[in-house]
Amino acid sequence: MSDYQLDCQRLLCPLPVIRTQNKVKELAVGDTLCVVCTDPGTKNDIPAWARIHGHSLVSIEDKEDLIYIVVRVGA
């Protein structure tokens, strides 16, 4: 169970990355954010964005046409 959820359904990259980036700015270190996406590109892009900014990827799950990407906010 994540601390926060962000709906990025129907958005194409890089918009889900931008929304994630902006949401994470509001969160505290250690918080988890679940980003709900439909663009398969997010499975590469959100983890790449997380890596270069020092956040960690908790999980990626495909379920019923939706992609759930969970990120833990780093320092």
Partner 1 sequence: MTRQHKAIALISGGLDSMLAVRVIQEQGIEVEGINFFTGFCVEGHTHAIRNHHKDKEKRNNALWVAEQLGIKLHIVDVIEEYKDVLLNPKHGYGANMNPCLDCKIFMVGKAVEWVKSNHQDGFDFIITGEVIGQRPKSQLKRTMPIIARESGADDILLRPLCAKNLPETLPEREGWVDRAKLHDFHGRNRKPQIALARHYGLNDFATPAGGCCFLTDEKYSSKLVDLWQARHSRDYELDDIMLLKVGRHLRPAPHFKVIVARDAGESKFLEGYRKQYPSLYSTSHNGPMALIDGQLKHHDDVETAAAVVARFGQGRTAEQVEIELTLPDNGTQNLVVSPLASEAIPEEWYV
Site track for partner 1 across 4-43, x = CB under 8 A: -----xx-xxxx-xx--x----------------xxxx-x
* Nearest distance from C-beta of residue 7 to partner 1, angstroms: 13
Beta strands in 1-75 (DSSP E): 4-8, 32-37, 56-63, 66-72
Question: Which residue in this structure is represented by tokens 């926060």?
Answer: 4
Contact flag: residue 57 with partner 1 (CB under 8 A): no
Strands 32-37, 66-72: pairing kind? antiparallel
Binding residues for partner 1, rule: CB under 8 A, are 9-10, 12-15, 17-18, 21, 38-41, 43-45, 48-49, 51-53
